[in-house]
Amino acid sequence: MQTSLSLEQRAIGAYLGLAVGDALGATTEFLTPNEIRERYDVHNRIIGGGWLHLKPGQVTDDTGMSLALGESILEQGGVKAVPVARAFSDWMRGKPVDIGHTVRRGIVHFRDSGVPCVPENEFDAGNGACMRCLPVAIAYWNAPSAELVEASRIQSHVTHNNPQADAGTEAMLAMLVAAFRGEPLSTLHTIALNLVEQQRIYRFDRRAVENPSGWIVETLQVVFQAFFAHDNLESVLIDVVNRGGDADTTGAIAGMLAGACYGVEAIPRRWLKALDRQVRLACEQQALALLELARTAEWGRTGLACTDGDEDMPDPSTR
C-alpha cells in the first residue's frame, strides 16, 4: 500500500482502474485461459475486440452502470432508490453494448411496478451490483458504516437482492473505503477474511480459480487471489484478465481495488492512453465530484441523505 497518496489520487485511481480493467478484460471475456494463451500468449494490451467486438479502449456495462449510479448520487446528494432505478433504466434505454440478465430483469421490474427493489431471490448472486459499487465507496468513504451498508443495499437491490451478493459487495466497499483512508494492506486482508468467516463459500486460499462465472463468489475469489498475490496494479489486472470467464468484471473490480490502493500513477500509461477519452474524463470528473459530496455531506447526522426514496415513488400508471 502506498501510504503517501492523496485521497484524490486514490479515488481517481480507483475509477480509472475500474475502466481500464473493464476495457482490458472485455477482450478475453468468456474465453478460457487456454484460448487466451493460444491467441495472445499473455493478454496485456487494451485492443478491444472480444465477443462484443469493441473498439480499443471501449468499456462495457461495468463502467457504464457505475457512471450512471454516480450521476444519480451526485444529483440527489446520496443514494436514493427511485432515482437510482431511473438512472439504470435510462442507461438501459441508451442501448448499452452489454447488459446482464439479472440487471435487465431488475430494471424491467422497476419499469413495470415502480418498485425500485426486486424481491429476495436465491439466484440473484451475480456480480452485477458489486461491479458498479465504486461511486458508493467514494461518496460514503467517510460515512458511518451503517450508512455505507444501507446505501449499498439500496443500489444493489434495484437488480440483485441476495444475501451472498450483499455480503460480497459490502466487503468490497469496506476494502475500498479502507484503502481511501490509507489503511495498510493487512486491514484489507482482514476484511476479506471476515467475509470468509461469515460465509465460508468465499474461501480463496485453495486452487487458483480460472474461467470464473458471473457468480459473485467466483468473481471475488479471483479478485482476492490476484490482489493479494501481487504488489502492483498492472500485475493484478494482467493476472485476472488472463483467467478468462467474466474477465471484464474481474478486471473492473480488481482495477478499482488496486487503483484505490496504489493510486492513479500506478496505472500503466499505455492503458490510460488507450482508454476512450470521454470515459476517462467522466471517470476523473465523477471521482472528484463524489469526493466533494463526501466532504460536504453530513452522513450520520441528518439521516436524510440515504433513504429508500419512497417519498418520490412514481405512479406506475403514469409510465
Residue ranges in contact with Mg ion by CB under 5 A: 60-62, 246, 248-249
For 96, 107, 126, 258, the CA distances from 101, given in Å and listed in that order, are 13, 10, 9, 28
The Cα-based distances of 4 to 60, 265, 292, 295 in angstroms read: 32, 12, 20, 20
Nearer to Mg ion, 51 or 112 (CB): 51
Which of residues 242 and 249 has its CB atom nearest to Mg ion in the complex? 249
Least Å distance between CB 227 and Mg ion? 18
**Of residues 52 and 185, the one with the C-beta less far from Mg ion:** 52
Considering beta carbons, is residue 60 or 286 the nearer one to Mg ion? Answer: 60
Q: Which is nearer to Mg ion, 60 or 169 (CB)?
A: 60
Cα 209 from Cα 55, distance rounded (Å): 28
Q: How far is the CB of 112 from Mg ion (least distance, A)?
A: 24
Q: How many CB atoms lie within 10 A of CB 86?
A: 21
**Residue number of the CB atom closest to Mg ion:** 60
Q: Which of left, alpha, beta for 50 (phi over 0: left; psi -120 to 50: alpha)? A: left
Per-residue CA distances from 256 to 20, 113, 184, 207 (Å)? 9, 33, 16, 24
The answer to whether 61 and 98 have CB atoms below 8 angstroms apart is yes
What the block records as the C-alpha cell of 152 is 449499498
- Distance of closest approach, residue 66 Cβ to Mg ion, in angstroms: 11
Residue 60 or 161 having the CB closest to Mg ion: 60
Contact present, 110 and 158 (Cβ < 8 Å): yes
**CB 98 → Mg ion: shortest distance, Å?**
5
**What is the closest distance, in whole angstroms, from the C-beta atom of residue 318 to Mg ion in the complex?**
32
Write down the least CB distance from residue 62 to Mg ion, Å.
5
Size of the chain in residues: 319
